Amino acid sequence: MPASVRIVDIRERTVDISRYSDRSLPSGGLTTSIVALATDAVRRGRPVVGFGFSSVGRFGQGGLIRERFAPRLISAGEVDPVAAWAAMMKGEKPGGHGERCVAVGTLDMALWDAAAKIADLPLHALLRQRFGDRGNPAAVCIYASGGYPHPENDPVRLKEELRRFRDSGYQRAKIKIGGVPLSRDLDRIAVAAEIFSAPHSLAVDAMNGYEPAAAIAAAHAFRPLQLMWLEDVCDPLDFETQSAVTAVYEGPIASGEALFSVAEAKLLDRHGGLRRDRDILLFDPVHCYGLPGYLDIIETMETRGWKRSAFWPHGGHLFSLHVASALSLGGTEVNPSSFQPFGGLADGAVLSAGCASPTDLPGIGFEGIEALDHLFRRL
Ligand code: MG
C-alpha cells in the first residue's frame, strides 16, 4: 500500500432492504448502512472509492458510523485496512460488542474494497496474497439461501423460488423455518425437498426462534430428514439448549451467525456441544468487526481443533464469496433473490457443479451488479 494514499471523505446512508424479491411484502423494517470511502489514489484516471455495507440481518449502523468510527478513520487518514482497523478500534473497551462490531465491519468492507482497487486486484487475490493459500483455486462451494415464509400462497411461492434456484445451477439450498408451527414447517421442508431431493442438499434455518422445548422437539422431528444442516436452532447465547439439541441430533448443526467476537466464539465452542467433525460455523465477517475480527475467530477456533472447512460465512453477498475463496473456507451462503441488490453473485455469473468464483473486477466487484453499482454511485 503506497504510504502517501489517504482517506479524504466518508459518506454513509441507511437504506431499506427486504427478505423478499417482491418488495411489496412486509419485511420487518429491515435496513442496512451503505458507505463510500473516498481516497486520493487515482486509478484509470478516477479517484479510488471503496464501497461497503452492513451485510444483512442487523439493521443500519449510521449513528455509530457517523459519531464514532468514521471520524476516527478520517483523522487517522490511513488506507491500509489492518492499520485503519486499529485506528477505528482505538479506545474501545473489551466486551459490550452490541452492534458496534457491525459498524466497524461496514467500514472495514469499504477499506478492503479500496485497498484492492488501489492494488488493481480482485479482493480474493489481494487477500490470498496477505492471508491465504496462494495456490488454492478461486471457486467456492455455495448454496442458495431464501425460502422465507410468504404471507400468502406460501407453498406455491416456496416451490417457485426453489425451482428458480435449481434452474440457475444451485445444487444446495436453505429455507427458513421456526416462524410457523412445526407441522407446517415439516410440510414446507417436504415441498423444498421435492426440488432439492439429494441427501444433504437442503438446510433449514430456525433464525434463533425456538424456545428450548420447541428446539428439542424440532431436532427430534428433523432427525430422519438427512438435511444439509440444522441452523440457528435457539437463542444465540442459549448454549444449554444448543448443547441439548446437539445431543439428540446426529446430523450437522450450524451456529454462530449471531455471535460477533472471539470471546463469544470460545463460549460457543466450550458450551454449545458442537462437534468438530461435522458442525458448521456461520460467523459473518462483516458483523464480527470486519475481516481482522473474523480472522481472529478463525485462528482461535483452529487452535481449538476446528478446520477451515467448517466455516461457511453468513451474508450471501460478494464480500463473503471473496473471503471464502481466499481463505479456503468450506463454502458460503448466496442470496440470489433476498436482500437485493446486495445479495447474490455478479450479474451473469455462471455456476459450475454448485460452485462459483468471485468476480475478477478490481476490489469486491460491486460494479458487476448494475443495481448495486447505481446505488453506491448515488452515494
Ligand atoms: Mg441463519
C-alpha 315 to ligand 1 mean position (Å): 9
pLDDT of residue 98: 87
What is residue 2's predicted lDDT score, i.e. its pLDDT? 58
Both 191 and 262 in a single domain? yes
Same domain? 12 vs 145: no
In the listed set 93, 120, 147, which residue is the last one of a domain according to the structure? 120
Structurally, the chain folds into a number of domains equal to 2
SS3 at position 343: coil
Question: Where does a domain end: 70, 93, 120?
Answer: 120
Alpha-carbon distance of 108 to 229, in angstroms, equals 30
- Residue 1 pLDDT: 56
Give pLDDT, residue 19: 92
Is position 285 within any domain? yes
Bridge-based pairing state of the strands 230-231 and 253-255: parallel
CA of 206 to the centre of ligand 1 (A): 7
Q: Is 314 a catalytic residue?
A: yes
What span, in angstroms and rounded, lies between the C-alpha atoms of 26 and 252?
Answer: 32
Phi/psi of residue 356, each to 5°?
-145, 150
- Given the residues 176, 287, 317, 322, select the one marked as catalytic: 176
Residue 193: inside a domain, yes or no?
yes
pTM over 0.85: yes
For residue 34, report the distance from its CA to the centre of ligand 1, in Å.
22
Grid coordinates of 98: 452490541
* 244, three cell numbers: 441439548
319 CA distance to ligand 1 middle (Å): 17
Range of the domain at 350: 130-368
Q: Tell me if residue 266 is catalytic.
A: no
How far is the first Cα of the chain from the last one, in angstroms, to the nearest whole number? 25
Rg from Cα positions in the chain? 20
34 SS3 class: strand
> Which residue stretches of the chain have pLDDT < 50?
none
